Amino acid sequence: MGNRLSYIAWRLAQVIPTALIIVLLAFGLLQLAPGDAVDVVAGESGGATPEYMEEMRSLYGLDVPRWQQFANYVGALARFDLGYSFRENMPVSELLMTRLPATLLLSLAAIVFALVVGVLLGVLAARYRGSALDGAIAVVSTIGFATPLFWIGLIMIVIFSIHLRWLPVAGMGTVGADHANWFAYARDLGRHLLMPAFSLSLFFLSMYVRITRSAILEVYGLDFVRTARAKGLREWRLIFSHILRNAALPIVTITGLELGGLLSGAVVIETVFGWPGIGRLAYDAVFSRDLNLLLGIFLCSSFLVVLMNLIVDLLYVVLDPRIGSRQR
């Protein structure tokens, strides 16, 4: 128990320096881009006087050296202040709170679907290895692994929205719809969520199929499996009660590694489907050079990835108590 607590404390202590490095890298990379928010405003208005542009830079704190801008930003972060978005005309923290639930819903739906279906297909492929079913699953997973997310989304829109008219094209809900109850609201939300969640999950589903199949086949050859099979334990019970549990570490590992790709893929999917999340917000902020908003989005996304990886590391201790005593 003491080793577990020490390991957890050690992992929690790593979050703070990781967060500081993320802030430094995000700020430095965005500063490398030419121009600033004032240049964008001047370009959209058709031009501005030098005096007006200097006044605007002073208003947004862009008239001081970059090291001082960074120091001011870190000081604001210490007060839990992410700054003000000049484009959306509201605090960045409030703006993120209005968009974050949509992204979390989309990402959670995608990862749950990919995990459940991918693991089940991986189990089937391992159970019937070398069969036609194994080959068919391998072909499907390869196609899903190699196909770009945006192309999948566009094809689904053409088929299910334009031709078949089964699902809505974009958005998170029907505009002007008067939902009589929670069931009607959930049904409408589910119809809008179906295509973007499936498009986002297909790549990760293919990864789960491959990882699960490989992990199960590796465990298949261990002594305890042969012993359990010799005692007459049924094959499917053996797989789900013993083999899959021992093969869970690679699946948990790939989940932690894929979280960053899941959030980055959400930028593309939210843009294709008009989903009102932080991915779509980031896309708009890039073109408007809204530095505070971009930094807020990067930090929010990065901290979510760090948090999810921390949870995955803590799950390691639950799945394999030996990890807590080794990794210190």
Helices 291-319, 278-288: inter-axial angle, 10-degree rounding: 150
Q: Are residues 176 and 307 in the same domain?
A: yes
Residue-wise pLDDT for 18-58, tens only, equals: 777 877 777 777 677 666 666 666 665 656 667 767 777 77
Tens-digit pLDDT profile for residues 191-233: 889 999 998 888 888 888 988 888 888 887 777 777 777 777 7
**146 and 31, same domain (yes or no):** no
21 vs 122 pLDDT, higher one: 122
- Count how many domains the chain has: 2
Q: Are residues 63 and 194 both part of a single domain?
A: no
127 and 179 fall within a common domain: yes
**Could you tell me if 87 and 106 lie in one domain?**
no
Residue 319 covered by a domain:
no
Answer whether residue 318 is part of any domain: no
Examine the fold and report which residue of 73, 91, 109 is the final residue of a domain before the chain moves on.
Answer: 91
Kindly state the tokens that stand for 60: 């947004």
Kindly state whether residues 217 and 266 are assigned to the same domain. yes
Q: Does 6 lie in the same domain as 131?
A: no
What is the rounded CA–CA span in Å between residue 215 and residue 250? 7
Of the residues 57, 91, 125, the one at which a domain ends? 91
**Residue 322 located in a structural domain:** no
- Mean pLDDT, the chain, whole residue set: 78
Residue 324 lies in a domain: no
Please give the residue range of the domain that contains residue 223. 101-313
**255-261: long-range pairs with CB below 8 Å, 24+:** 255/111, 255/115, 255/312, 256/308, 256/309, 256/312, 256/313, 258/111, 258/204, 258/207, 259/111, 259/304, 259/305, 259/308, 259/309, 260/305, 261/203, 261/204
328: in domain:
no
Q: Where a domain ends, among 66, 91, 116?
A: 91
pLDDT of 250 reads: 78
pTM score: 0.78
